[in-house]
């Protein structure tokens, strides 16, 4: 029974105002259920950082309330944080079979298998975590086995869509549970959290079958080897590649670790089907004639170390592209990756290869896994939520999603665009936005988690732009006179040989500064350091418009 003190809270710990590191919290009184645990890649301002995961201070503070982590699907922005988070804080994980398979692979890689409990669920499961009953519905996306989640709290029903689109002709018969969604909406939804990735795109995202048709047509035309690069996790697309390969009597080889891993998992769990002799080892490719081969490879986003980039530059150990081959980029470059992808296309053309590249909507070789505007309106219409929280998107996407919700009749006062770390609290079915919990980006650098921050990054930025100049000076303890130095060591600054005059002048300025301080009988090292930094810094900026890090090291002997 609901009392006035009963409180339901929806909190974002990651995933709003960004694409990546999704993590949401549903809390009802003393029970917390976490949705997803993603990672994201840093932008270029975070020098040297490998990965970003959510700051989970809030969860650690409330450790005894956390009942479990429920995963909507197996993409990195929903599961990539798991190995780092469970080292800090162990909790049971609930996910579908394929998603669990991918998570297990990831835990194995980090040497963490067996450190946490994994529970397999499916769209028909129902479970109760603490006092919160959960049920699920199946959605379409660019990876199989995706879930939407229904939290049937005493304050009302909260629905989290996960990532979704409506694919009415899905590959592998993985239909979305539209009737179930309609029933959920009919029974009343207090709050909907819905995927905003494509809220800027008009229309209805095409079915994955659209890609299958184009793959088949391209395979029918190709004469040499066929290379097709796509996201490894798009298992349904891989299934269509297999179908097209079967029709054209081609074998399939796999290049790239994630492609091998995903195909392995998907085959063993039955999400991918092929006759056993179709799959050949990459090292055996040269035993077949070109027109008997399809090579599925990673690197469709232009990743410099992935298979496609190596093929394009002719540095792949096992396979090479030859004039007359066809390379299909079955992916649209994500903003930021265009240049790397373009460079690969350049190299492939220079090798005399036919390349099918560019936007998927033009080539037909890619469709998005996310709902466009008409589908988002369909989800809002099915769910008829009282309150709406657009999630999974940058601000303009959340903003456009808000406009869509208003257009289908959600009260504009009941729509909350929240920040990471912000809660929407429901008491007596009234909602209020604005409470904040600790949140942020936890930076992963090598094996270090959270040990790099603002000052370290600021130093890396200075070092990256103009390098470092180190002054080593030995002074006598007894009389303060120079014993040796100042010696100047530079790294990442300029070629010393080509800048002799500049470096001589720097030396002269350093010596003058030290002499002046000695004449003033200064005995504080700090003043020497300050003086050197200022005098040399000013000179270099005036003379060369450069600001290297200046690091004086003074030794008294």
Catalytic residues: 195, 370
Question: Binding residue for a second copy (CB under 8 A) from 269, 468, 488, 509?
Answer: 468
> What separation in angstroms does the CA of 110 have from each of 85, 100, 200, 354?
12, 15, 37, 39
Question: Binding residue for a second copy (CB under 8 A) from 377, 384, 386, 399?
Answer: 399
Strand partners, 136: 149
Q: Which stretch binds a second copy (CB under 8 A): 118-126, 312-320, 380-388, 492-500?
A: 492-500
User: Rounded to the nearest whole angstrom, what is the least distance from the CB of residue 483 to a second copy in the complex?
Assistant: 6
Residues 256 and 282 sit within 8 Å (Cβ to Cβ): no
User: Rounded to the nearest whole angstrom, what is the least distance from the CB of residue 386 to a second copy in the complex?
Assistant: 24
Interface residues for a second copy in 419-458 (CB under 8 A)? Answer: 445-448, 450-453, 455-457
Residues 147 and 124 sit within 8 Å (Cβ to Cβ): no
Residue 335 interacting with a second copy (CB under 8 A): yes
Instruction: Fill in the DSSP letter of residue 198.
Output: T
Interface residues for a second copy in 18-57 (CB under 8 A)? Answer: 43-44, 47-48
The residue count for the chain? 557
Interface residues for a second copy in 191-210 (CB under 8 A)? Answer: 200
Residue 256: asked if its preceding bond is cis (omega within 30°), the reply is: no
- C-beta closer to a second copy: residue 305 or 455: 455
Q: What three-state secondary structure class fits 236?
A: helix
Query: Exposure string (b/e) for 437-474, b if CB count within 10 Å is 16 or more?
Result: bebbbbbbbeeebeebeeeebeeeeebeebebbbbebb
Picking from 195, 205, 207, 158, the residue whose alpha carbon sits closest to that of residue 400 is 195
User: Rounded to the nearest whole angstrom, what is the least distance from the CB of residue 418 to a second copy in the complex?
Assistant: 12
- C-beta closer to a second copy: residue 269 or 462: 462
Interface residues for a second copy in 531-550 (CB under 8 A)? Answer: 543-546, 549
Pattern 338-377, a second copy, x by CB under 8 A: xx--x--xxx-xx----x-xx-------------------
> What separation in angstroms does the CA of 49 have from each of 67, 74, 238, 318, 548?
31, 23, 32, 31, 22
User: Rounded to the nearest whole angstrom, what is the least distance from the CB of residue 199 to a second copy in the complex?
Assistant: 12
Q: What is the DSSP string of 333-397?
A: PPTT-HHHHHHHHHHHHHTT-EEE-S-HHHHSS---SS--HHHHHHHHHHH-EEEEEEESB-HHH
Residue 474 interacting with a second copy (CB under 8 A): yes
- C-beta closer to a second copy: residue 151 or 471: 471
Q: Which stretch binds a second copy (CB under 8 A): 70-78, 169-177, 381-389, 493-501?
A: 493-501
User: Rounded to the nearest whole angstrom, what is the least distance from the CB of residue 356 to a second copy in the complex?
Assistant: 12
The reply to whether 347 sits in an annotated binding site is no
The reply to whether 110 sits in an annotated binding site is no
- C-beta closer to a second copy: residue 243 or 463: 463
Question: Cβ of 203: how many Cβ atoms within 10 Å?
Answer: 10
Which residue do the tokens 């890396």 mark? Answer: 460
Kindly list the strands in the beta sheet with 549-556, ordered across the sheet, starting from the edge strand earlier in the chain: 482-491, 468-475, 549-556
Q: At what angle do helices 257-268 and 97-109 cross, to 10 degrees?
A: 140
Picking from 113, 100, 48, the residue whose alpha carbon sits closest to that of residue 74 is 100
Q: Which residues sit in the known binding site? A: 48, 50, 73, 75, 77-78, 141, 163, 232-234, 366-370, 392, 445
Pick out the residues of the known binding site for Ca(2+).
48, 50, 445
Chain residues binding a second copy by CB under 8 A are: 17, 43-44, 47-48, 200, 335-336, 338-339, 342, 345-347, 349-350, 355, 357-358, 394-396, 399, 445-448, 450-453, 455-457, 459-468, 470, 472, 474, 483-484, 489, 491-495, 498-499, 543-546, 549, 551, 553, 555, 557
């Amino acid at each position: 029974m609901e009392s006035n003190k009963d409180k339901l809270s929806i909190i974002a710990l990651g995933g709003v105002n960004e694409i990546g590191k999704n993590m949401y919290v549903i809390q009802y009184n003393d029970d917390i259920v976490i949705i997803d645990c993603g990672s994201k890649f840093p932008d270029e301002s975070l020098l040297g950082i490998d990965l970003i995961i959510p700051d989970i201070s809030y969860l650690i503070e409330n450790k005894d309330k956390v009942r479990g982590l429920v995963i909507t699907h197996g993409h990195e922005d929903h599961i990539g944080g798991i190995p780092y988070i469970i080292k800090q804080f162990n909790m049971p994980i609930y996910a579908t079979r394929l998603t669990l398979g991918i998570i297990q692979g990831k835990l194995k890689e980090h040497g963490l298998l067996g450190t946490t409990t994994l529970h397999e669920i499916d769209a028909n499961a129902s479970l109760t975590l603490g006092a919160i009953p959960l049920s699920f519905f199946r959605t379409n996306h660019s990876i199989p086995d995706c879930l939407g989640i229904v939290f049937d709290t005493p304050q009302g029903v909260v629905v989290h869509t996960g990532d979704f689109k409506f694919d009415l002709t899905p590959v592998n018969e993985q239909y979305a549970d539209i009737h179930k969604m309609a029933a959920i909406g009919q029974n009343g939804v207090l709050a909907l959290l819905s995927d905003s990735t494509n809220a800027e795109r008009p229309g209805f995202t095409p079915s994955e079958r659209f890609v299958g048709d184009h793959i088949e047509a391209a395979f029918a035309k190709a004469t040499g080897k066929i290379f097709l690069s796509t996201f490894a996790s798009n298992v349904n697309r891989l299934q269509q590649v297999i179908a097209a390969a079967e029709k054209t009597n081609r074998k399939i080889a796999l290049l790239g670790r994630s492609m091998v891993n995903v195909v392995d998992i998907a085959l063993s769990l039955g999400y991918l089907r092929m006759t056993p002799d179709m799959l050949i080892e990459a090292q055996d490719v040269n035993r077949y004639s070109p027109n008997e081969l399809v090579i599925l490879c990673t690197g469709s986003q232009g990743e410099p170390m992935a298979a496609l980039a190596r093929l394009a530059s002719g540095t792949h150990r096992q396979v090479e592209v030859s004039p007359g081959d066809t390379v299909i980029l079955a992916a649209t470059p994500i903003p930021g990756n265009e240049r790397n992808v373009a460079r690969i296309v350049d190299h492939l053309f220079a090798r005399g290869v036919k390349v099918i590249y560019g936007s998927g909507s033009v080539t037909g070789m890619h469709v998005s896994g996310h709902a466009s505007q008409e589908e988002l309106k369909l989800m809002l219409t099915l769910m008829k939520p009282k309150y709406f929280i657009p999630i999974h998107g940058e601000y303009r996407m959340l903003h456009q999603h808000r406009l869509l919700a208003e257009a289908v009749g959600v009260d504009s006062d009941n729509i909350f665009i929240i920040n990471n770390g912000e809660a929407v609290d429901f008491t007596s079915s009234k909602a209020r936005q604005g409470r904040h919990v600790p949140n942020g980006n936890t930076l992963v650098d090598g094996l270090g988690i959270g040990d790099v921050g603002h000052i370290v990054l600021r130093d890396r930025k200075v070092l990256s732009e103009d390098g470092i100049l180190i002054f080593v000076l030995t002074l006598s303890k007894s009389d303060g006179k120079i014993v040796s130095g100042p010696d100047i060591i530079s790294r990442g600054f300029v070629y010393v040989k080509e800048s002799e005059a500049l470096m001589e002048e720097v030396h002269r300025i350093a010596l003058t500064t030290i002499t002046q301080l000695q004449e003033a009988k200064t005995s504080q090292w700090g003043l020497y350091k300050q003086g050197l930094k200022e005098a040399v810094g000013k000179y270099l900026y005036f003379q060369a418009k450069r600001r290297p890090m200046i690091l004086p090291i003074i030794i008294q002997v």
